[in-house]
């Protein structure tokens, strides 16, 4: 039975992946800094590890004997990261570097980084750190021959923490209008199930140094908002773009475009 470490396991995607890999017959080590979220993952095939990816010794301990690693851990909330540059950098960049080095030190067979479309031509601190994460993974793919370093670049997980759907749900429950930052904003969305299917497949078949991007649905946020409130525009308030926020995200940059290969239901770079 293969053993896999998932960092950020208590987060929205990390928790979905933890449960999915258990169903697929893996032994999962679930690592997170947030005790309440981690405790919800208790299972006979899940080893709960309270820890910080910035802690080099903890990462080496967590990865000892692992076959694979899925690196989900990141600070991502735009309202917080834009005003917390140093802590965002320490976790998202230095923590990811320590995770990558620990994967190599412990001779993990493959390591999958969960990146974001925010890494493409970034305008936010979060996006810049996600781009840095990708470069760390690609650098490791080039300079060593022990571990296969693979990247998955995703859009928004539909019901993940911080996504518009759970935010709107809470606003409606409080009797408030739902908020949209800009009427022209568009985002890529993928469901929990499709995301976990894709990560599972890439973990099993991905190639060192490659970036994999699932084909996702691009939606205009205001259209989603209208559907959410049964087409009652009076229940929507436009708040304006937040600092660092784009109107439209892209799945790959202009420089990457010539290298992109269409593989049917996903892109490969």
Kindly give the confidence (pLDDT) of every residue in the chain, 269 residues in length, as a single tens digit, with 9 standing for 90 and above: 899 999 999 999 999 999 999 999 999 999 999 999 999 999 999 999 999 999 999 999 999 999 999 999 999 998 899 999 999 999 999 999 999 999 999 999 999 999 999 999 999 999 999 999 999 999 999 999 999 999 999 999 988 877 889 999 999 999 999 999 999 999 999 999 999 999 999 999 999 999 999 999 999 999 999 999 999 999 999 999 998 999 999 999 999 999 999 999 999 99
Place of tokens 């390591």: 111
Sheet holding 217-220, edge to edge: 156-157, 186-190, 217-220
pLDDT of 82? 95
Q: Is 263 helix (H, G, I), strand (E, B) or coil?
A: coil
Q: Is 215 helix (H, G, I), strand (E, B) or coil?
A: coil
What six digits make up the tokens of 70?
A: 């899925």
pLDDT of 220? 95
pLDDT of 151? 98
How far is the C-alpha of 230 from the C-alpha of 253, rounded, in Å?
Answer: 36
Query: What is the value of pTM for the model shown?
Result: 0.95
Place of tokens 């140094």: 209
Residue 145: partners with Cβ closer than 8 Å, 6 or more residues away: none
- Where are the domains positioned within the chain? 3-156+190-215+251-268
pLDDT of 160? 84
What six digits make up the tokens of 261?
A: 């290969």
Rg of the chain (C-alpha set) = 18
Q: At what angle do helices 96-105 and 125-143 cross, to 10 degrees?
A: 20
pLDDT of 1? 83
Beta bridge partners of 232: none
pLDDT of 50? 97
Q: How many CB atoms lie within 10 A of CB 193?
A: 11
Query: What is the fold, at CATH topology level, of the domain defined by 3-156+190-215+251-268?
Result: Rossmann fold (3.40.50)
Q: Is 225 left (phi over 0), alpha (psi -120 to 50) or beta?
A: alpha
Of 212, 116, 196, 100, nearest in space to 148 by CA = 100
pLDDT of 158? 87
How far is the C-alpha of 28 from the C-alpha of 34, rounded, in Å?
Answer: 17
How far is the C-alpha of 268 from the C-alpha of 263, rounded, in Å?
Answer: 7
Beta bridge partners of 149: 111
């Amino acid at each position: 039975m293969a053993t896999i470490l998932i960092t950020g396991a208590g987060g929205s995607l990390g928790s979905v992946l933890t449960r999915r890999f258990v169903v697929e017959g893996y032994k999962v080590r679930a690592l997170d800094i947030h005790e309440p979220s981690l405790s919800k993952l208790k299972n006979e095939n899940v080893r709960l590890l309270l820890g910080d990816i910035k802690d080099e010794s903890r990462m080496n301990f967590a990865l000892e004997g692992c076959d694979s690693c899925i690196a989900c851990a990141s600070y991502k909330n735009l309202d917080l990261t834009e005003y917390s540059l140093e802590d965002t950098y320490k976790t998202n960049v230095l923590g990811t570097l320590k995770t990558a080095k620990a994967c190599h030190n412990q001779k993990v067979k493959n390591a999958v980084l969960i990146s974001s479309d925010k890494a493409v031509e970034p305008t936010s601190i979060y996006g810049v750190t996600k781009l840095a994460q990708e470069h760390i993974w690609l650098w490791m793919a080039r300079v060593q021959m022990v571990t296969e370093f693979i990247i998955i670049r995703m859009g928004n997980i539909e019901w993940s923490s911080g996504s518009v759907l759970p935010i709107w749900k809470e606003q409606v429950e409080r009797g408030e209008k739902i908020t949209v930052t800009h009427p022209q904003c568009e985002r890529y969305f993928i469901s929990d199930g499709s995301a976990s299917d894709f990560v599972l497949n890439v973990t099993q078949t991905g190639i060192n140094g490659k970036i994999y991007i699932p084909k996702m649905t691009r939606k205009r946020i205001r259209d989603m908002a209208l559907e959410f409130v049964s087409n009652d525009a009076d229940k929507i308030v436009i708040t304006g773009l937040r600092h660092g926020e784009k109107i439209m995200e892209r799945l790959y940059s202009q420089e990457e475009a010539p290298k992109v290969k269409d593989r049917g239901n996903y892109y490969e770079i």
